[in-house]
Amino acid sequence: MKKYISSLFASLFLLSSLHAAQEQTLAIIKPDAVAADHIGQIIARLEKNGLHVIALKMAHITKPQAEEFYAIHKERPFYKDLVTFMSSAPVVLIALEGENSVAKNREVIGATNPKEAAQGTIRADFARSLSENAIHGSDSVDNAKNEVAFFFSANELFPKK
């Protein structure tokens, strides 16, 4: 009986661990990549790597939205240019879901500086420069939750069942 109970608890723990690994994250295809018609290729790359699109919309982020979204960078020297760039033209907002999706998304995206991005990553293939680097990706699970909620209401998300 003890062995059965131990096995049951181990199974429940494993199932809860697997379920906990399912995360949501945000990707934003930036104005440079939208203008260059890379939307489909970027989404295909995300999906090919096990990330599931659960919400998607094209939008023109306003300057106040960009200021609020990137407020964490307010004291950084690039903040004003980032806000101006992100509010300059349409972007594609994507809520993604998958196992360890935050880390997976960052891996597929590549290093912030495209010159340092690994071959085959989105930034290595589609970024123009450090400031026009094709895509934004949430950098932590906590930030991902906030970022997804910033752009999508709960009724706009369609998680995998």
Q: Active-site residues: which are they?
A: 136
In the 8-state DSSP scheme, what is residue 53?
E
Describe the strand order of the beta sheet including 22-29 as a list of residue ranges.
52-59, 91-99, 22-29, 135-137
Cα 26 to Cα 7, 34, 115: the distances in Å are 37, 16, 23
Length of the chain: 161
Q: How many angstroms separate the CA atoms of 113 and 116, rounded?
A: 5
Give Dmax (Cα) for the chain.
66
Both tokens of 76, joined, read: 């950084």
Q: How many angstroms separate the CA atoms of 118 and 121, rounded?
A: 6
Both tokens of 74, joined, read: 């307010």
Sole residue written with tokens 């995300």: 46
